[in-house]
Chain A
Amino acid sequence: MKTRYDRPGRFDINWCPGCGNFNILKALRETLHTLEIPQKNVVIVSGIGQAAKTPQYMQVHYFNGLHGRALPVATGVKAANPHLTVIAQGGDGDMYGEGGNHFLHAIRRNPDITNIVHNNMVYGLTKGQASPTSREGLVTPLQVDGVISRPFEPLAVALTQGASFVARGFSQDVPELKKILAAAIRHRGYALVDILQPCVTFNRVNTAQWFREHSYYLDENHDPTDPDQALQKIRNGSKMALGILFRDSDRFPFEDRLPGYRKTGKPLFQRKPAYGRIKKYLAGGW
């Protein structure tokens, strides 16, 4: 489907044929297209890696920054102009490895941003090393005897840190992924969407078929307002849950609680220095 977010003209895409990123790109463009958001108010902040190149292939405001640093940049954008719809996007190494500390603290702050994490359990751009979410035993060019660390569990961490929206999608199921993305973008507060995705070049274990066999969709009986239930359902035996695990719509986002927005909701770029008050401040002493 053609969308307003399609990058015009001819261009080269840096991804391997069959990469899960293509589906995520498609799902994101189509979701944004169908949502009632002015396109000029959408900003995608990404890190570095193959996933983080996604906004390069879109027609959108973007800030393709540093590895691991998408969340603080995105938080800065949102705090400076709360009218913007802000997405922070990157891969598992980007968000959970290099950016791990920002991940923890973005959850605590709860800015109204959607954090999309392409999770293929391996490093692509640096050629096949283990990622924080690699399963134990995965053999890589660097972990030659297999990964010995336990995998990072983003959903469990997000839930126990009190994230206000936690979901997991699968790149090979675009219709369901679009529903999750739409709900995440609409959610007012920090929303984590971890997307399971095959890496066709460097991860021959966690393939599309493997993900299908090792995941299940949450059914209507799941109550996404119950964090304890969500925590239990992240896994069912060897299967990972897909869908919206948890949602708390009552928490005020970070930017709503900043004292700087108490008197006016004007974005910062419209504010001017108050010379009179500054002079009074200086003359007032302490």
Chain B
Amino acid sequence: MTRELTGVIALTAGYTTVGAAVLYGIGLLRTVRQSLRLIGLAIIVGWVLTGIGLSLALAIGLSVSVVTTGALWGVIAVLAFLGGRVLPPFPLPAARSEQTLVGRSIALVGAGLLAVDLTALAWRSANPSGQLHADVWNFWLPKAKTIYFFDGLDTGVGGFTSQTSPDYPPLVPALEALTFTFAGGADVLALPLAHWAVAVAFFGALAGLLRERVRPAILWPALAMLAFMPMLARLIGSSLADEPLALLYALAGVCSALWLLDRDWRMAALGSVFLVAATLTKNEGLMLSLALALVVALVARRRPVVDRTTRAGSRRRARPRAPRSVGARAGDARPRVPRLCGRVLDQLCRAALLRRQQRRARRRPDRPLPRCTLSASLRGGPRAIARSPLRTA
């Protein structure tokens, strides 16, 4: 086994460990079965958090070394462990299964095709032809080499900032530099194998996240179709920043969609991490991330939460939906205040109530206001106003 291969395996094992720790920390991963199901997601989460962490480490003047990376992984794992002691487990429902022979056959063919494609890509990654996109050897790899050779973001002659597009964020070069570090040298032919491992993890992550939602007869052929998409197949192992950007954006979209369906904050957190990483891949990632965040926010305001108890095979109970706006529900006597702006609205309502009481007192000076009404409304805000006799006056 060559040093490059050993290094890539060790690196992927590190991603897996730290990613699994984080998934444990947020409650997604508590059993062996869940570990097997979410191992792809664990690798991706570990890879992403390593990239984000190394980008920040570079920004404060640290280098991409085994020590830095080990310390980063240690900090993440400890925080995740502490989180896991506090946070409740995520009720991961059972994966959907096919009832008919036809459905099972279609799923099997899809999974088989996906396996064939990933095996072929493994073969290509283990024997790279060395053909690189001009952008890769013009600035992505030189930047990675400067981080590797000059111990961080070197601003001197020929350093990181001397390369083309120095304003691009450092996540992709940092991760390539980390692969160089683990592979024991800046050999660009070692990179495709590391990229292949991440690509396999990507498909595993998609399968792990969607298996409870999507029928196998749809999921596996869809994943196979995705794998055989010519552009994606060419991107895998290319070392272009579009490769991680595409993977991260897709995963952010899936996590956002799952959050829209369930409103469990953990999916929103994962989606946000993927969007942050997408932003750090290249400048275009910022615009794409903002667009996705905006769309998700708009949809979240309009779309009701699906009651999952109505779906067959689900073991979760839907949580009551957060009220949308003041007095939004027809026939509801009590005005409702969204949590985020509740205090502001409370204060506004209190001020309005005071003005109203002053006006009333001026009109009917002979009839004093009941003390309990005033004090209760001042204490309780809109809810108290809703209950008070003033509301019907």
Is B a genuine binding partner of A?
no
Binding site for A on B (CB under 8 A): none
